[in-house]
Amino acid sequence: MTLPASAKAVSFIVARDRAAAKAFYGSTLGFPLTHEDDFAAVYDQNGTMLRISTMPDHVAQGHTVLGWDVPDIEEAVTALRDKGVAFTVYEGFGQDALGIWTVPGGTTKVAWFTDPDGNVLSLTQF
């Protein structure tokens, strides 16, 4: 059996503090809340569902867990910085003043930031 052609991907994020996560994903990132129950707050990420589940003892991983492809990374980074988002600068990567890294040998650009629970998120311009 294979998945039906109508199956859509769902993204998941784990948070310790649902209120802080809701403020970040809803107000800061601008995704509309579409559903909430005792187990998750659900957002529409431009057609892809994002379920934010709460776990009091969640420990964020050190790698990117969710990212978005944006048409203009400088504009997106600047807009998020204006909303108080701090972008992560990794030593030795050679990121620019906005925290944007250009992939060696290519034109792809990436910028990383974290949500209130320390989950690593990214913006990418291909």
Residue 30 CB contacts under 8 Å (≥ 6 apart), including other chains:
none
- Average of per-residue pLDDT values in the chain: 97
Instruction: Indicate if the pLDDT at residue 125 is higher than 90.
Output: yes
Q: Which range of residues forms the domain containing residue 26?
A: 8-57
Can you tell me the mean pLDDT for 95-112? 97
Can you tell me the mean pLDDT for 91-112? 97
Q: What total of structural domains would you count in the chain?
A: 2
For residue 1, is it within any domain?
no
Same domain, 80 and 115: yes
Token code pair at residue 49: 């569902």
For residue 2, is it within any domain?
no
Same domain, 44 and 104: no
- Model pLDDT, residue 116: 98
For residue 3, is it within any domain?
no
Q: What count of Cα atoms within 13 Å lies in the side-chain half-sphere of residue 48?
A: 10
Same domain, 110 and 65: yes
φ, ψ for residue 27, nearest 5 deg: -80, -50
Of 61, 20, 62, nearest to 41 (Cα)?
20
Can you tell me the mean pLDDT for 87-115? 97
pLDDT band for position 98 (50/70/90)? very high
- Model pLDDT, residue 1: 83
- We report the CATH number of the domain holding residue 42 as 3.10.180.10
Same domain, 96 and 50: no
pLDDT band for position 21 (50/70/90)? very high
In the beta sheet, which residues pair with residue 124?
69, 110
pLDDT band for position 111 (50/70/90)? very high
Same domain, 53 and 73: no
- Model pLDDT, residue 40: 97
Please report, to the nearest 10 degrees, the dihedral formed by the alpha carbons of residues 56, 21, 77, 95 taken in order. 0
**Number of continuous H segments (helices) and E segments (strands) in the chain:** 2, 9
Can you tell me the mean pLDDT for 76-86? 98
For residue 98, is it within any domain?
yes
Token code pair at residue 5: 């052609």
In the beta sheet, which residues pair with residue 11?
50
Same domain, 124 and 64: yes
What is the percent of the chain with per-residue pLDDT over 90, rounded to a whole number? Answer: 99
Can you tell me the distance from the alpha carbon of 70 to that of 92, in angstroms, rounded to the nearest whole number? 24
Same domain, 72 and 53: no
- Model pLDDT, residue 119: 98
